[in-house]
Amino acid sequence: MAEERFDIYDEAMNPIGTATRSETHKHGYWHRSFHCWLTRRIEGRPVVLFQRRQLGKDTNPGSFDITAAGHLTAGETVRDAARELEEELGIRADFDQLVPLGQIREEAEGIVGGSVYMDREVSDVFALVCELPLSEFRLQPEEVAGIYEADIADMLKLFEGSADELAVHGMKLADGTAPDAGLLVPDACVIRAEQFVPREAAYYIEVMNQLAELS
């Protein structure tokens, strides 16, 4: 299977060509990605949905993360990247249903598979109000291990540092072999801020505050 290619950019986000995923992260080329946070209200309280990354992911395995996110492949626009909702979560939504929350510029470095990894992304961030029960999500097994939700007020305490941990409920992919593998089963766990993909706390706090106004 051919490795996916990204449009790459210089520091000022001027296009400079395309590169494979591995080349992009090896050389630290700037590229673009899509973030979408799902939210709704439960008994009048605004809640946020977030995913747990599969343990087999090459970066941040098993970490909690944005509800759905992904890179823009070469030639794609942000409108095209909304496909991530259906690919990762089984959710169909028109791009026009998404609410823009802004843009974030991030840089991260690490070691993946024994090689230096440099991730430089500009991400367009969106929200989607979604009333679908978690049991009806269809998770992409290669990418997503589970889907969870929590009151936004409690998530703010977590990222602001006024709470050390938070008990949450959700659904995860069942372990084992067919016919159970791939099915969603209820799950409960206690989470900490450091279990989320490393980003500035200000990013998570700003997103939570914006979501609280939408849901």
- The mean-pLDDT minimum among 57-61, 128-132, 156-160, 198-202 falls in 57-61
pLDDT of res. 70: 94
pLDDT of res. 178: 45
pLDDT of res. 177: 47
Q: Say which amino acid occupies 18.
A: T
Q: What residues contact residue 133 under an 8 Å CB cut-off, 6+ apart?
A: none
pLDDT of res. 176: 58
Residue 41 and residue 21 in contact, taking contact as beta carbons nearer than 8 Å: no
Closest to 35 in 3D by CA, of 139, 143, 125, 130: 125
Q: Which helix or strand (DSSP H or E) is residue 102 part of?
A: strand 99-112
**What's the full length of the chain, in residues?**
215
Which 8-state DSSP code applies to residue 142? T
pLDDT of res. 180: 53
Split at pLDDT 50, 70, 90, the class of 117 is confident
| 45-68 confidence digits (pLDDT tens) | 999 999 999 999 988 999 999 999
Residue 74 and residue 5 in contact, taking contact as beta carbons nearer than 8 Å: yes
> At the fourth CATH level, which superfamily is domain 5-214?
Nucleoside Triphosphate Pyrophosphohydrolase (3.90.79.10)
Write phi, then psi, for 181 (nearest 5 degrees).
Answer: -55, 130
Domain limits, the chain = 5-214
Residue 37 and residue 44 in contact, taking contact as beta carbons nearer than 8 Å: no
What percent of the chain has a predicted confidence (pLDDT) above 70? 96
Position with higher pLDDT, 179 vs 187: 187
Mean pLDDT of 5-30: 96
